[in-house]
Structure 1
Amino acid sequence: MIAAFSLDAARAIDRFDRSDSPYLLLDAINRIVPFKLAMSVVYRREAAPVYVADTFANRSGKRALELYIAGTYILNPVYNAYLNGLKAGIYRLRELAPDAYFTSDHYRHFKVQQQVDEELGYRTYGWPAGMEEVVVAVELPQDELAEISFYRLASLGGFSDADCEALRTIEPLIGAIYRRIWQHCRQDSKRDTHWASFDLLLGDFGKGKLSPRECDVAHLILKGHSGESISRNLGISVTTVKTHRQNLYAKLGLSTQQELFSLFLMSLQRQDEVSSRSSGAASIVPAR
């Protein structure tokens, strides 16, 4: 196992300037902690993530990654932890998620309800249903951060504490290899299209209808925060949070959190369509 890991890691270093180098790194990690699926992107402030690699085999998974990079990444706990200063390390997704993330509408819509409208392309959202996720975060130059996410079926036990500890043992080497690979990928990348921040997207979404405080509340609702968490984050009472929620629902003609989320998704979809028409681009996620 160690010998195979060392061989794949060495090949990843030797071929850092080749397109298969991220996959050689994934192969090396798989020798130590086997996984079913993996994907990696690099986050940048005020810009869309840069796709690096994935092992998703079907088209729906590829499309999910396309839409994730086009805009829905702003709901991801890893991305939001990055904006809040996430450091290099090994994390379970639950460690990074807001307090109500796993009961929120966007989690259920993306991760659990596999038969949602596939025309919108949100069937898998990059996190296939029934999977447990462990993240390797790699700090990069210029305030960028790489996410390498690994997935196993939760029904088969997911990732154990021993698995996470094994990843921690090799995490410094993973980071060193990834930074070398990224030096080449960043220079070679043509996908530097800037994307509006969540606040700007939300401003467009409720423009002319919501007050600044109502936008703040909607922002946190969409990210998966409970009323109590919104109260703590904004320094207002839970009663005031409820009042803002009722007001923004009324102004937008909504009655439930799911309707709020669906409306926001439609706004992202429209922006994705406009962006695709203007750029004439096909897929932003190349096949391996």
Structure 2
Amino acid sequence: MTAEFGNGAASAFSAHAARALDHCERAEAPQMLLDAIGSVVPYAFAMSVVYHRDGPPDHVVDTFTGRAAKQAMQLYLEGTYILNPVYNAYLAGLRAGVHRLRELAPDNYFSSDHYRQFKVRRQDDEELGYLTHGWPAGMEEVVIAIELPQGDLGEISLYRQASRGGFAETDCALLQAVEPLVGAVYRRIWQHRPRRARQGGRASPLDHLLEDFGKGKLSPRECEVAHMILKGHSGESIARNLGISITTVKTHRQNLYAKLGLATQQELFSLLIRSLQEKDALLPERR
């Protein structure tokens, strides 16, 4: 432990972490690990999922209470996870560590109205600009990312009310200090869960979410640009990430719009939604 902890917090964290490790094969182990984290950095609520490149995420644990919040968690697992910057950062190669959610979200994230078809609603005061229906509002989120075998990624997300200050830099520093041990315990817990967790999951027709979108109609570079637009990147961000000029980005965007018979970014989002629904990748909006 570092000097930043204090004896009480260090003892509580060690005790909870050891308990989770000793009982890593039990269903309660993930909650024990959350208890260990909460003894160092208290949170309003927390959740954890494991992301895969070949299907939807597995639910590990959450501290949500109430029917609406539990339903929101289910909606997330069924579809809205594909909009989450953590998931998209995972597909782009996110490594283990502590991350503020707003640091993972690309600029211009979720600026169009396509959110309505993903069982989410526009919420300008949210970090992402949207909220899954039923998800607790007004929260700031900090993520502990944990690298797992077979290319999977564990996410532990902690939430606090943004109006009460959210997470301070000292909180993030404490999480960074315990992150290696948290990751080690999480991996031990996950060793006892993958086969059981995946057997009950609904197989996803998506392969890396956008891999098939635009294939056969667009060039490889045009597909890259289309995928980044769909993930919320601005022209400047695309140019920066792909190492090309903004003029070249604009040319690729014009060409891919023409090839797909589109005129606007909103039409591009709508085309993605239709393709996902045709593959049964998203459930239709419940009325």
Please state which band the TM-score falls in when normalised by the shorter chain.
0.7 to 0.9
State the number of aligned residues: 266
Q: 1 CA distance for matches of 2:113 and 2:160?
A: 21
Q: Which residue of 1 aligns with 2:4?
A: none
Partner deviation per Cα, 1:135-186 (whole Å, 9 max, x = no partner)? 1111222222211111112111110001011111211221121111101111
Q: Which residue of 1 aligns with 2:5?
A: none
Q: 1 CA distance for matches of 2:231 and 2:212?
A: 13
Q: 1 CA distance for matches of 2:280 and 2:66?
A: 21
Q: Which residue of 2 aligns with 1:283?
A: none
Give how far 1:24 is off.
Answer: 1.5
Q: 1:26 to 1:185 in 2, by over 3 A?
A: same
Q: 2 CA distance for matches of 1:31 and 1:214?
A: 48
AA aligned to 1:24 is M
Q: Which residue of 2 aligns with 1:158?
A: 166
Q: Which residue of 2 aligns with 1:23?
A: 31
Q: Which residue of 2 aligns with 1:119?
A: none
Q: Decide whether the 8 Å contact of 2:68 with 2:135 is kept in 1.
A: no
Q: Do structure 1's residue 81 and structure 2's residue 86 form an aligned pair?
A: no
Q: Which residue of 2 aligns with 1:105?
A: 112
Q: Do structure 1's residue 229 and structure 2's residue 249 form an aligned pair?
A: no
Larger helix proportion of the pair: 1
Q: 1:72 to 1:265 in 2, by over 3 A?
A: farther
Q: Do structure 1's residue 178 and structure 2's residue 186 form an aligned pair?
A: yes
Q: Which residue of 2 aligns with 1:279?
A: none
Which residue, out of 175, 198, 210, partners 1:199? 210
Give how far 1:240 is off.
Answer: 3.8
Q: Do structure 1's residue 90 and structure 2's residue 98 form an aligned pair?
A: yes
Q: 2 CA distance for matches of 1:126 and 1:25?
A: 25
- Describe the SS at the equivalent of 2:42: coil
Q: 1 CA distance for matches of 2:271 and 2:66?
A: 28
Q: 2 CA distance for matches of 1:83 and 1:165?
A: 26
Partner deviation per Cα, 1:163-222 (whole Å, 9 max, x = no partner)? 01111121122112111110111132214635422233524xxx6665554433221111
Give how far 1:26 is off.
Answer: 1.0
- Describe the SS at the equivalent of 1:199: coil
Give how far 1:22 is off.
Answer: 0.7
Q: Decide whether the 8 Å contact of 1:90 with 1:134 is kept in 2.
A: yes
Give how far 1:31 is off.
Answer: 1.6
Q: 2 CA distance for matches of 1:123 and 1:171?
A: 27
The unaligned stretches of length 5 or more in structure 2 are 1-7, 125-129
AA aligned to 1:197 is H
Q: Once structures 1 and 2 are overlaid, which stretch shifts more, 238-247 or 132-141?
A: 238-247
Structure-to-structure mapping, 1:37-186, within 5 angstroms: 37-101=45-109, 104-105=111-112, 113-114=122-123, 123-124=131-132, 128-186=136-194
Q: Which residue of 2 aligns with 1:216?
A: 224
Partner deviation per Cα, 1:228-287 (whole Å, 9 max, x = no partner)? 1222334443234334434545665655434433443354345447889xxxxxxxxxxx
C-alpha root-mean-square deviation of aligned residues, in Å? 3.4
Give how far 1:52 is off.
Answer: 0.9
Percent identity between matched residues is 61
Give how far 1:68 is off.
Answer: 3.3
Q: Decide whether the 8 Å contact of 1:41 with 1:147 is kept in 2.
A: yes
